[in-house]
Amino acid sequence: MENIAENLKNVLERIETAKQNSDNKERSIRLVAVSKLKSIDYIIAAYKAGQRHFGENYVQELEEKAQSEQIKIECPDIKWHFIGHLQSNKAKKVAVLPNLYVIETVDSIKLADILNTAMASAQKPLNIMIQINTSNEPQKSGIAPSDLLKVYEQIRNNFKNLNIMGLMTIGSYEQSTNPDEVNLDFKNLIDCRNELVEKLNLDPNSIEISMGMSHDYEEAVKMGSTNIRVGSLIFGSR
């Protein structure tokens, strides 16, 4: 196994350095350790090193891990992030899993509606993020940036069992040589947040930003991310 404790320490230090080189040094930044395709032993090792937030992409895999006796006993305070594409017919299953913290990939009103119904008898609202297709390529999932205001308002006003934590993109950091280039995922996500808070008069700090993975998390932090999702740098390649 990789030296998970050391890898975690390294990533956390680099996050801190990147934050000190950014415009918003006060924010807290959450590291999500993406454990997809890695066995429970890896998760327990990271948990023992202090990590609490873990990300998974596949419904069946998350179900197995979240419901495992070993995880329940050894990682009682674990917080799961679902970060994969969620089909409507599996939404309810995920919503009710033990220690689910947030579904980061809500990409339609229909999915939000199903999740809201699934949470009808829950004690507290389900955390979600709205996934944005920041590159605007039709084959990628996420809502179009131009639909954000409408989708945000519909969820907030109609789905009382959901709590919108923020916005998420699976897009990557790209350095454009062309100043007119608009296909910059990270910048697009930040622009989405800024426009949303301005139009609805929200506190900018109330809308989280989930962006950045192993190859670009430092750039993401410099640009304002509050939730970064790192897998291979912590657990090794898959």
Contacts to ligand PLP by CB under 6 A: 34, 36, 57, 83, 170, 213-214, 229-232
Distant-in-sequence, close-in-space partners of 145: CB < 8 Å, separation ≥ 6? 132, 133, 134, 136, 188, 191, 192
Which one, 100 or 170, has the nearer CB to ligand PLP? 170
CB 226 within 8 A of CB 209: yes
Q: Shortest Cβ distance from residue 61 to ligand PLP (Å)?
A: 12
Which one, 224 or 231, has the nearer CB to ligand PLP? 231
Distant-in-sequence, close-in-space partners of 236: CB < 8 Å, separation ≥ 6? 1, 2
How distant is the alpha carbon of residue 38 from its chain centre?
A: 18
Is 124 buried (19+), middle (13-18) or exposed (0-12) by CB count in 10 A?
exposed
Q: Shortest Cβ distance from residue 191 to ligand PLP (Å)?
A: 20
Which one, 161 or 232, has the nearer CB to ligand PLP? 232
DSSP string, 184-211: -HHHHHHHHHHHHHHHHT--GGGSEEE-
Strand partners of residue 98? none
Which one, 43 or 213, has the nearer CB to ligand PLP? 213
Q: Shortest Cβ distance from residue 103 to ligand PLP (Å)?
A: 12
CB 43 within 8 A of CB 54: yes
Q: Shortest Cβ distance from residue 34 to ligand PLP (Å)?
A: 4
Q: Shortest Cβ distance from residue 214 to ligand PLP (Å)?
A: 3
Which one, 159 or 168, has the nearer CB to ligand PLP? 168
